[in-house]
Structure 1
């Protein structure tokens, strides 16, 4: 929690390349239902993430699509400009919440 705003945090390791992306998408889906109870926002912290590939961007797109139309938020925290550019270059057009630090996370959660 940050200032009583409840959310569930998922922190992937260094790289998000095939086949790690399948694990992450499955894990986030389970966390969203079990730990976040389909209500609380799910924050994926990319602080340690150094790179992604095409498969990873498609996995991220799959996550975004899974949350679309739900009241539960999906937020990406500490996303590097390189990773944002990669996602944009792979044709991701959906609205994505990219938050660069915890202070801005508070604003998105409210």
Structure 2
């Protein structure tokens, strides 16, 4: 499973080897699969903590994180994607949209 997802990561135009991929995933299964997929794709997985419910703290946290790890790709569930897109500096890909890529005919 992680091997298949690593191929999806390698196919993303904004993916680069040895660059951070932020994993904003609350489900342990998702986190483990995408962590290893990122490793297999030769990326640097960066697990993200839960975000604050306060909009100002959340924005400040995301801006600082983006600056620290240089505006990485971010993988999240659809339910969390809008909060991450608020910062405007992450290339957010949802688990659901990446699953669609895997099921498209070649």
With the shorter chain as reference, the TM-score category is 0.3 to 0.5
Question: TM-score scaled by structure 2?
Answer: 0.40
Question: TM-score scaled by structure 1?
Answer: 0.39
